[in-house]
Amino acid sequence: MRLAIAVVQKQDAADLVAALTERNYRVTRISSEGGFLREGNVTLLVATETESIEPMMRLIREHCITRTRYVSPLPPVADSGEFYTPTPIEVQVGGATVFVLKAGQMLRL
């Protein structure tokens, strides 16, 4: 038994959850927020058998795409009187971050 914890972008979550439940994965959806972009994410908890991990990972890869974003970095600490104009930098966001853990047991009460 494995517990997969997948952090995905909000805009990818609905289609991914639909695809997972269509294939009989039991999914718990939790709203979360990333620290870098300070934007909403969705954390999915999926308990499944070990042999079902790879098919689940394929679904995640199919539904969670990477996007290009431009963000302004935090300004450095400046001396008084200094002016800092942030230049937006290009970053890749999206896809998914997935943790797969051994689960000793799963109980449905």
Average pLDDT on 82-92 reads: 77
Tokens representing 3 are 């517990």
Parse the chain into domains and list their residue ranges: 2-75+84-102
Tell me the helices (H) and strands (E) count for the chain, helix number first. Answer: 2, 6
Tokens representing 5 are 């914890």
Fold for 2-75+84-102, please state it.
Alpha-Beta Plaits (3.30.70)
Give the per-residue pLDDT at 91.
82
Q: What percent of the chain has pLDDT over 70?
A: 88
Q: Is the pLDDT of residue 23 over 90?
A: yes
The string of DSSP letters for 32-84 reads EE-SSS--EEEEEEEEE-GGGHHHHHHHHHHH--EEEEEEPPPPPP--TT---
CA distance 47 to 5: 9
Give the per-residue pLDDT at 88.
85
Give the per-residue pLDDT at 3.
97
Bridge pairing between strands 40-48 and 26-33:
antiparallel
